[in-house]
Chains A and B, each alone.
Chain A
Amino acid sequence: MAKPKFVYVTYINTTPEKLWEALTNPDFTQKYWIGVRQESEWKVGSTWRLVMPNGEVWDTGEVLEVDPPKHYTVSWRHEHFEDLRAVGFTRQSVDIEPSGEFLKLTITHEAPEGGEEFIEKVSSGWPGILSSLKTLLETGKALPGTDRLPD
């Protein structure tokens, strides 16, 4: 049986450097990622984590591959909810490629066997995060309400 996997593609009118910055600078991620800071030094072997607006660390892992401004892969384990933590380390990649005047951004998130619920959760999360990222880069403002956790 295939490992559970989610793939999302979107096209954004920006430069690879700006898109890379938007994904890897926590001051930027918190503007469109419901207030979440994605923190790492972005070197192979660096620790990686997602920090919630209240300072709690909900996801941890390490940088497995990094090639700015085109590609990174991190290992990703959820820490807050026990049933999702039990899935263990998932693998999440970003790929940025030119496509005419736009960029093609591909997000891939793969869980080990038994991680179907984890992938279901991220499948409902990524489209909103990436829609807001696209709006922020193209208009200067993120989607309303995506700079903080939902009420």
Chain B
Amino acid sequence: METSLYSDYKPNTVYVIYIVARPEKVWAALTEADFTEKYFFGRHVNSDWKIGSTWSMAKPDGALDVQGKVLESDPPRRLVLSWRVESMEELRHLPDTVVTYQIDSLGEVARLTMTESHSPTLDPKYLEGGRKGWPMILSGLKSLLETGHALPEFDRSG
């Protein structure tokens, strides 16, 4: 389907993290606003997470931050999203990013692999934000699921 739009995209940023949790719990942490507000810089996600649906992420004050389409959805294993930052004028006109969450069950542990893919025309300077942000966000998700607490400074607007 719409993934063909992105057939020349390259996976430029990959982050792997292992979490003591069932894949269903990791899926919930990625797709439910009650979870994302605790580790994703206070942001709320919203979608029915069906293929072709829109999805969005709002800042703590409700303003739209990111939106896109659900390109693939296979709960609790795989979610592929197109990703356009709407809250910053400079970023709004860039080609969409594609973010893939892959969740593999390894017994008591789940392996979460986040891949950010981009258009070959994208200036590499735009990769820096994701490379700084994902380790914080996903370290917070792991702490939240394992201990009940995310990284304290990351539950606010970043």
CB pair A135–B20 under 8 Å, yes or no, is: yes
How many Å from the CB of B15 to the closest CB on chain A?
A: 8
B53-92 Cβ-contact flags toward A at 8 Å (1 or 0): 0000000000000000000000000000000000000000
CB pair A135–B146 under 8 Å, yes or no, is: yes
Residues of A within 8 A of B8 (CB): none
Contact residues of A between 93 and 151, Cβ < 8 Å to B: 99-102, 127-128, 131-132, 134-135, 138-139, 143-145
Interface range, B side? 20 to 34
CB pair A143–B151 under 8 Å, yes or no, is: no
Residues of B within 8 A of A145 (CB): 107-109
With A10-B17, A127-B18, A131-B17: A139-B153 Cβ-Cβ less than 8 Å:
no
How many Å from the CB of A113 to the closest CB on chain B?
A: 22
CB pair B143–A13 under 8 Å, yes or no, is: yes
Q: Which residue of A lies closest to B113 (CB)?
A: A127
The verdict on B142 contacting chain A, using a C-beta distance below 8 Å, is yes
- A-B CB contacts (within 8 Å), total count: 61
Residues of A within 8 A of B151 (CB): 11, 13, 100-102
Chain A interface residue count, CB cutoff 8 Å, equals: 21
CB pair B135–A143 under 8 Å, yes or no, is: no
Sample of 16 more A-B contacts, CB < 8 Å, known A11-B140, A127-B15, A143-B18: A11-B136, A11-B143, A13-B143, A13-B151, A99-B153, A100-B153, A101-B153, A102-B151, A102-B152, A127-B17, A128-B18, A131-B19, A131-B142, A139-B20, A139-B146, A144-B107
Q: B residues near A, CB below 8 A? A: 15-20, 107-109, 135-136, 139-140, 142-143, 146-147, 149, 151-154
Q: A residues near B, CB below 8 A? A: 8-13, 99-102, 127-128, 131-132, 134-135, 138-139, 143-145
